[in-house]
Amino acid sequence: MRVQLARQLLDRQIVDADGLLLGKVDDVGFAFDAQGVPYVAYLLTGQGALGQRIGGRVGRLLVALADRFTEGASTPLRIPVDQVARIDSAVRLRARADELPGPPVETWLRRHLIDRIPGADRASG
């Protein structure tokens, strides 16, 4: 599949197989094939990925916040490109949200904040 990254992929909503919004494509991760040709291997989402992409003072702040809320070096959520079913107005995945790892910052917030709220375990998700 040929895609113009900046126009057709970056900043698109990521939607799981059930139609649940998972975030936006904040960046991409590359790998190299046997001949050394680079290809997009992962979609990256999360504050750390966005901060690294935009750079500068604001980018460093986003990465620092993500690092703070993930107890160390934050790693963006990496979605393998083979999980992409199609790209239209959004990036639509074959996988369901519960089949993917949770976003690092959201996981930290849930563990350290949300789960400590009385009755949070009964809230609808």
Which domains are seen in the chain, by residue range?
5-122 (2.30.30.240)
Q: Provide the pLDDT confidence category of residue 38 given band limits of 50, 70 and 90.
A: very high
Query: Taking the model in full, what pTM does it have?
Result: 0.65
End-to-end CA distance of the chain: 34
Q: Which tokens hold the place of 36?
A: 């050394």
d(CA 27, CA 44): 5
Q: Provide the pLDDT confidence category of residue 118 given band limits of 50, 70 and 90.
A: confident
Chain centroid to Cα 79, Å, comes to: 7
Cβ 13 vs Cβ 21: under 8 Å: yes
Q: In this predicted structure, what is the pLDDT of residue 81?
A: 92
**Residue 123 vs residue 10, higher pLDDT:** 10
pLDDT tens column, 48-60: 676 666 777 876 7
